[in-house]
Chains A and B, each alone.
Chain A
Amino acid sequence: MMCRIDQSEPEPGGKQDADATDAVFTSLLEDSAEELYEQAPCGYLSTLMDGTIAKINTTLLDWLGLARSEVVGRMRFTDLLTVGGKLYHETHFAPLLQMKGEISGIALDIKAAGGRMPALVTSKVKTSEDGEPLLIRTTVFDARDRRAYEAELLRGRRAAEEARRQSEADRVRLQEALAVLQQSLLPAELPVVPGLEAGSYYHTASPDLLGGDFYDLFPLDTGRWAFFLGDVCGKGPQAAAVTSLARYTLRAAALHDADPVTVLTTLNTVLHERYASGDGRYCTAIFGILHPADDGHVDLHLASGGHPSALIQRADGSAGYLPTPGGLLIGVLPRAPFTAARTRLLPGDTLLLYTDGLTEARTGPDRALYGEDALRAFTATQPPTGPKDLITALSGLLTSFGNGLDDDTALLALGVPAPSPTPASADLT
């Protein structure tokens, strides 16, 4: 049927415009229906109910690379399909078509002149007036582009999966490297100090970011020992570089002159000069000296630069801070004040140094600050059985904070062992 513009409609453009439009349509539709069938942009074929091909268009013959005489009356539709296509036709296509009378958009591979050709096939059964099936009409659309697109999607997905596997492997390698670096910032194990017991613990908040907490314990001259514990502001590789600088500066400075304020002053000068231009780098630290005396006690002399006060658990079960107020964050000012303090550790006393990951932790449903008072109370409830036991108790406390603990935390405990318990009191422990 020709499509015509209804002339009875009044048109503003008048009769001349309508005639011109008519001419355009005529030229477009000069192809005969036969021409349209043969040269359609898709394949057409009609088969008898047993599949024998009765009619096929030129487009499809061209795709197949076959002559009409080879096909019509001689081949069945399934002969045009690849083995896989045949199988699918047998098991799905034909039964569905028989059941529903039509089936559309099924992907089948046909045996084209250039090899296997993906196609989308639609078939419909033509019936007589009394409902008897007469023949099957089929259209075949070229699906090569679509299949290429799907293959591209699959390839893209495989590439993405491979990239994800690779990045996961890289992440694991990076974490291993970071763990090794982190360990290099801490002593592998604390040295054995005659007449002293020592314990330490390090909690890493994030496996991806190097923490900035550090500590060490090492011998000085004539039976004295030095220790320090500190916390670099910030985290990540920049903080780790400062951690390394701070650790080695403190050790070297202590060998030169172990006076705690002098040692911290040296570190302050080094950090302030090293990072004078650009972004500064700062740390807090407590540095101290232990001097065991002949009568069994240990003289303790320490100084703090902006670091939370050391806590002492006494043999009598009490616990109290050794205040060092006014000490400044190290590296901020060219000449900074540091505050020293002295005390005696008696047998059974334990000195605890910690970084503020512990006291700044958040606890409970309202995420309240854990704080110094709670730490002192907790320590006072622990039996005064030495640094290792206190560290064990505190690491348990840190674990109990769960995700309320979001900062790296270092603990270092040093103490004078109590006299060996009598067998009777040993039974009680």
Chain B
Amino acid sequence: MSALTITARDADTGPVLEITGDLDYETAPELRKAVDGLTVAAGQLLVLDLAHLDFCDSSGISALLSARSLAIERGGHIALAAVPANTARILRIVGLDQVFALHQDAATATTRSSAAH
């Protein structure tokens, strides 16, 4: 098990959160807090970069959905980048691959026009 680290940066498309470590029952509130503290302007894209996500359980999935709700509430969109294979498999089982825009990596997510979403 590893702790959760969230690093925020700005891309042309909007904020990018790099999520490192475990997203689970214990750490899920940290993602919620991090997204709460972000400025997502209308039309902007919030990218969650999961390249270094080690583990994600159902509490973590809920936290991803909370991030989605917040982005949409503010008139923005959300995309997941570099989703690890195991998490991608779970997202498919629960049908969330239809709900989240998925990108190969953060660079791809942030070079696309947010109008595409």
Binding site for B on A (CB under 8 A): 209, 212, 231-236, 279-282, 284, 305-308, 326-329, 332-333, 336-337, 356, 360, 369, 407
A residues in contact with B94, CB < 8 Å: 284, 306-307, 328-329
* Contact assessment for B93 and A279 in the assembled complex, using a CB-CB cutoff below 8 Å: no
Please tell me if B103 contacts chain A, counting CB pairs below 8 Å: no
Q: Could you tell me the dominant secondary structure of chain A's interface residues?
A: loop
* Contact assessment for B59 and A328 in the assembled complex, using a CB-CB cutoff below 8 Å: no
* Contact assessment for B25 and A234 in the assembled complex, using a CB-CB cutoff below 8 Å: yes
B94's closest neighbor in chain A, by CB? A306
Q: How far is the CA of A235 from the CA of B26 in the complex (A)?
A: 10
Given A231-B58, A233-B59, A233-B61, A328 contacting B66 (CB threshold 8 A): no
In the complex, the 10 A-B pairs of residues with the closest C-beta atoms, listed nearest first: A306-B94, A328-B95, A233-B58, A329-B94, A234-B59, A233-B62, A306-B95, A279-B66, A234-B62, A280-B65
Q: How far is the CA of A279 from the CA of B25 in the complex (A)?
A: 14
* Contact assessment for B96 and A328 in the assembled complex, using a CB-CB cutoff below 8 Å: yes
B residues in contact with A327, CB < 8 Å: 95
Q: How far is the CA of A88 from the CA of B97 in the complex (A)?
A: 81
Q: How far is the CA of A306 from the CA of B98 in the complex (A)?
A: 11
Please tell me if B69 contacts chain A, counting CB pairs below 8 Å: yes
A-B contact pairs, 26 of them (CB 8 A): A209-B25, A212-B58, A232-B58, A233-B59, A233-B61, A234-B25, A235-B25, A235-B59, A279-B32, A280-B65, A280-B69, A282-B62, A282-B65, A305-B95, A306-B93, A306-B96, A326-B98, A327-B95, A328-B95, A328-B98, A328-B99, A329-B61, A332-B65, A332-B96, A333-B99, A336-B95
Please tell me if B10 contacts chain A, counting CB pairs below 8 Å: no
Please tell me if B108 contacts chain A, counting CB pairs below 8 Å: no
B residues in contact with A281, CB < 8 Å: 62
Please tell me if B57 contacts chain A, counting CB pairs below 8 Å: yes
Q: Could you tell me the dominant secondary structure of chain B's interface residues?
A: helix
A331's closest neighbor in chain B, by CB? B65
Please tell me if B39 contacts chain A, counting CB pairs below 8 Å: no
Please tell me if B86 contacts chain A, counting CB pairs below 8 Å: yes
Q: How far is the CA of A279 from the CA of B61 in the complex (A)?
A: 12
B96's closest neighbor in chain A, by CB? A329
Q: Which of the residues A307, A332, A407 comes within 8 Å of B99, measured between beta carbons?
A: A332
B residues in contact with A329, CB < 8 Å: 61, 94-96
Q: Which of the residues A279, A328, A333, A336 comes within 8 Å of B62, measured between beta carbons?
A: A279
Q: How far is the CA of A305 from the CA of B90 in the complex (A)?
A: 13
Q: Mark B64-92 against chain A: 1 for CB-CB distance below 8 A, else 0.
A: 01100100000000000000001000100
Q: How far is the CA of A280 from the CA of B57 in the complex (A)?
A: 16
Q: How far is the CA of A307 from the CA of B59 in the complex (A)?
A: 16
A residues in contact with B66, CB < 8 Å: 279-280
B29's closest neighbor in chain A, by CB? A279
* Contact assessment for A308 and B93 in the assembled complex, using a CB-CB cutoff below 8 Å: yes
A369's closest neighbor in chain B, by CB? B86
Within 8 A of A (CB), among B16-34: 25, 28, 32
CB distance from B101 to the nearest CB of A (A): 15
